[in-house]
Structure formats: structure tokens, C-alpha cells
Amino acid sequence: MARKRMRSEPATTDLRSLDSLPPILTPRMVSRLVFGGGITEKTLSKRRLEGGGPVFRRRGHPTRGRVLYLREDVITWMRNLPAATTTTEERIRVESCAGAA
């Protein structure tokens, strides 16, 4: 029976450790190094189309060229991600209902 492989990297990377990343990242590098595979390359691709992901650039052809991310853009995007949890959102909902009563 095959043994389940354990992840060696965390689900997300501490912002301080992002400074050690290369200055230019591919979608695979962002997925694996920054999020430990928690955000897939497919999710990054979808966010490039719909918005909501880090700023990206294309090398070569403007619509079919290789997608690249700058480390600084990924760090900026991560800093601007909402930090709310389900518990936090529930607390806000309860407080707003109590204030309306």
C-alpha cells in the first residue's frame, strides 16, 4: 500500500521568508513556494482572467507569452488579502445585528 506523502512546506509562507524568493516567479513557483500547493496553478490562471490575483506580466507574445510574477507584486498582493476568518465574520454579523435592535 502506498504511503501518503507528507508536505514539508506550510500551507502559506510567512511574509518575511518571501524576501528569500527569486525576484521573478512562474505560476508553479508561486503555487508551490508561496502557498505550498494550497493555491493551484489553475486557480492563479483563473484569477488572471477574472481579477483578484497578483499582478502578472507576460514575456513574449502579449496574450500567449509566458506568465511571470514579480516577487514584490506577490508580496503586495498577499499583504492586501483579507485576513477575516469565519469566526471573525460571524462576530461582525452578530455585532451588527445587535446594534440594529
Could you report the per-residue pLDDT of 54-92, keeping only the tens digit for each?
999 999 998 889 999 999 999 999 888 877 666 666 666
Read off the pLDDT of residues 23-42 as tens digits, 9 standing for 90 and up: 999 999 999 988 888 889 99
Query: Model-level pTM?
Result: 0.66
- CA neighbor of 78 nearest in space, from 21, 28, 13, 25: 13
Residues written for the chain: 101
Q: Provide the sign of the torsion angle of the four alpha carbons 43, 80, 78, 64, taken in this order.
A: positive
* Rounded Cα gap, residues 32 and 43, in angstroms: 12
Which residues, at least 6 apart from 25, have a Cβ–Cβ distance to it below 8 Å?
33, 34, 68, 69, 70, 71, 74
